[in-house]
């Protein structure tokens, strides 16, 4: 389970994430949507414990990611936007390293390694060097590294970006398979992806949540695209209206001064 409470992250004076709250229940796959620069990656980095929030908390299985960080991080598998591969390592060696780093004992390591190689379809590249892999394989090796310790919570930052249609289909199937008992937060801007694999959607724009809804609770007949665009447009609308009002006030002030 993941609970994000009133998360705010400032970079200097710039507010990247503004009072974001949402919840993903155990077994849920949560689609995290938003335009580029909306604060998705920042939020996911905070959830994964890479960096702390300016204020607010994240609970992972009721463990605070800041105060009980090591315990919480043990339960998380995190795949950043660029898979964190060491280019000079062989795939197997990399996965072993990822497993041991996540605290797998020697005895657990080999079965876990075999399992992820199998699940992520890496058999034919297992002895290749990471730096020579195609984008699709890099993504899959990254994913294998993120799930090798069988985490209860998975954070996936745009896992299907840059893949060809067949690879996208495979990764989606894999993610759906991984769901079930796990909690998954997955960011993307491919909307059909969310309707296909997610149970719940959170839309974020300019750092704050504009929609948090279970997918089957969305009004029947509306496509996710409409929901997304209208949610974001509503925001824009507000700003436009405010800007117009300001303009009117300025011009009104000017005319009254004349």
Pick the closer one to other proteins by CB: 14 or 217. 14
Kindly tell me which residue out of 1, 52, 59, 230 binds other proteins, with binding defined by CB under 8 A.
52
Pick the closer one to other proteins by CB: 153 or 227. 153
Task: Tell me the Cα Rg of the chain.
Answer: 21
Task: List binders of other proteins among 14-33 (CB under 8 A).
Answer: none
Q: Does 121 bind other proteins (CB under 8 A)?
A: no
Residue 199 in contact with residue 214, Cβ under 8 Å?
yes
Pick the closer one to other proteins by CB: 32 or 78. 78
Which window, 15-23, 78-86, 113-121, 171-179, contacts other proteins (CB under 8 A)?
78-86
Residue 169 phi, psi dihedral angles, 5° rounding: -60, -45
Question: Using CA atoms, how far apart are residues 160 and 165, in angstroms rounded to an integer?
Answer: 9
Which window, 98-106, 116-124, 199-207, 238-246, contacts other proteins (CB under 8 A)?
98-106
Pick the closer one to other proteins by CB: 70 or 220. 70
CB of 133 to other proteins, least distance (A): 14
Nearest to 29 by CA among 140, 119, 159: 159
Which window, 67-75, 111-119, 204-212, 228-236, contacts other proteins (CB under 8 A)?
67-75
Parallel/antiparallel/unpaired status of strands 2-11 and 14-24: antiparallel
Binding mask 228-247 for other proteins (x = CB under 8 A): --------------------
Kindly tell me which residue out of 76, 148, 186, 211 binds other proteins, with binding defined by CB under 8 A.
76
Question: Using CA atoms, how far apart are residues 117 and 98, in angstroms rounded to an integer?
Answer: 13
DSSP 90: B
Task: Centre a 10 Å sphere on the Cβ of residue 168 and count the other Cβ atoms it contains.
Answer: 18
Residue 14 CB burial class (10 angstroms; 0-12, 13-18, ≥19): exposed
Q: Is 121 helix (H, G, I), strand (E, B) or coil?
A: coil
Which window, 73-81, 179-187, 215-223, 246-254, contacts other proteins (CB under 8 A)?
73-81
Q: How many helices (H) and strands (E) does the chain have?
A: 8, 10
Question: Using CA atoms, how far apart are residues 176 and 250, in angstroms rounded to an integer?
Answer: 54
Pick the closer one to other proteins by CB: 98 or 227. 98
Q: Does 128 bind other proteins (CB under 8 A)?
A: no
Q: Is 254 helix (H, G, I), strand (E, B) or coil?
A: helix
Kindly tell me which residue out of 43, 91, 102, 171 binds other proteins, with binding defined by CB under 8 A.
102
Q: Does 55 bind other proteins (CB under 8 A)?
A: no
Q: Does 98 bind other proteins (CB under 8 A)?
A: yes
Chain positions contacting other proteins, by CB under 8 A = 11, 45, 48-52, 70-71, 73-74, 76, 78, 80, 82-89, 93, 97-98, 100-103, 145
């Amino acid at each position: 389970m993941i609970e994000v409470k009133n998360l705010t992250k400032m970079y200097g004076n710039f507010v990247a994430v503004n009072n974001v709250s949402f919840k993903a229940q155990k077994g849920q796959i949560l689609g995290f949507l938003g335009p580029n620069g909306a604060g998705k990656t920042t939020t996911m980095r905070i959830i994964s414990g890479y960096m702390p929030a300016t204020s607010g908390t994240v609970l992972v299985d009721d463990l605070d990611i800041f105060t009980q960080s090591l315990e919480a991080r043990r339960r998380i598998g995190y795949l950043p936007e660029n898979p964190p591969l060491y280019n000079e390592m062989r795939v197997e060696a990399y996965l072993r390293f990822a497993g041991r780093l996540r605290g797998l004992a020697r005895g657990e390591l080999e079965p876990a390694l075999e399992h992820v190689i199998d699940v992520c379809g890496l058999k034919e590249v297992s002895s290749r060097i990471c730096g020579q892999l195609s984008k699709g394989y890099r993504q899959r090796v990254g994913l294998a590294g993120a799930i090798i310790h069988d985490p209860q919570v998975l954070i996936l930052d745009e896992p299907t970006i840059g893949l060809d249609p067949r690879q996208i289909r495979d990764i989606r199937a894999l993610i759906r398979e991984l769901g079930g008992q796990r909690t998954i937060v997955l960011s993307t801007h491919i909307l059909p992806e969310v309707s296909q694999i997610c149970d719940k959607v959170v839309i974020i724009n300019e750092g704050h949540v504009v929609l948090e809804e279970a997918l089957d609770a969305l009004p029947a007949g509306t496509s996710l695209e409409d929901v997304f665009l209208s949610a974001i447009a509503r925001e824009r609308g507000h700003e436009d209206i405010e800007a117009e009002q300001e303009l009117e006030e300025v011009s009104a002030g000017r005319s009254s001064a004349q």
